[in-house]
Amino acid sequence: MTADSVSIELPSAGLRPWEQLLRDVRDLEMRFDSRIADYMKFVQPTSPRSANARPSQGADDRQSSAQLEGEIHTILGDLEAVIQEMEETVQHQRGSARVLERHRSLYNDYMREFQRYQSNVQASFSKADLVTGASGQLSAADTSDRDRLVAERSRIDQTHTDIDMVLDQAFSVRQDLAEQRTIMGRATSTMVDVTERIPGINLLLGRIRSRKRKEKVVLAIVIATCICILFFVAS
């Protein structure tokens, strides 16, 4: 079995951008799904009708499963490190706490799932040691059931990814609105400072407004007078 690189280079200091952390955590979660799907193949069926459907696990299977366990341990370790970095970023109010909580929950589910499969694989190897001379392969029904479970898990993970994208967009919009609010607040504060520092500016603005009101009144009187003249001429 060829081992792919499963580790992600983590920074020694400083906080990375939130978008980079999201890409890393999703990549690690997809790698875990791929590796755990391969690891599930070492679990021997336990139902009576399929107990003898899989041959005894050989030395190659044991070596492959041990290699997969090492890769999964590495992935989970990297995933935990990235989640801790996301937690620090959220503490600095630069990330989404809801997204962090969902990925932390997924990490806990991955740990429990891996431990459960690890126990099942060990039990499968122990059972294989007791059963000698068995041959054959997993039945088509067992393989189909496993494929359906893996496909269902992939669909659920894709849904989670889509939810993350929506939350990320909402978080970006909220940040943009907060920045715009800050800019408007600064502009208002600047205008207030200007009116307070320049002597007589408030009086000047008041006179301008008063002149505009007078002009409106004069214009209204002229219009009314013209209407009255037209009315009398027409009558």
**SS3 readout for 173-193:** HHHHHHHHHHHHHHHHHHHHH
CA distance 174 to 128: 57
State if pTM tops 0.85: no
Cα atoms found within 13 Å of the Cα of residue 72, Cβ hemisphere only: 24
Q: Name 24's Cβ contacts closer than 8 Å, sequence gap at least 6.
A: 8, 82
CA distance 106 to 116: 15
CA distance 114 to 3: 18
pLDDT at 78: 93
Which residues in the chain come in under a pLDDT of 70?
1-14, 44-58, 128-146, 195-202, 235
Residue from 53, 69, 36 nearest 150 by CA: 36
pLDDT at 205: 73
CB 195 within 8 A of CB 202: yes
pLDDT at 28: 92
pLDDT at 12: 40
CA distance 200 to 234: 51
pLDDT at 195: 66
CB 52 within 8 A of CB 136: yes
Q: Name 139's Cβ contacts closer than 8 Å, sequence gap at least 6.
A: 45, 50, 53
pLDDT at 58: 61
pLDDT at 82: 92
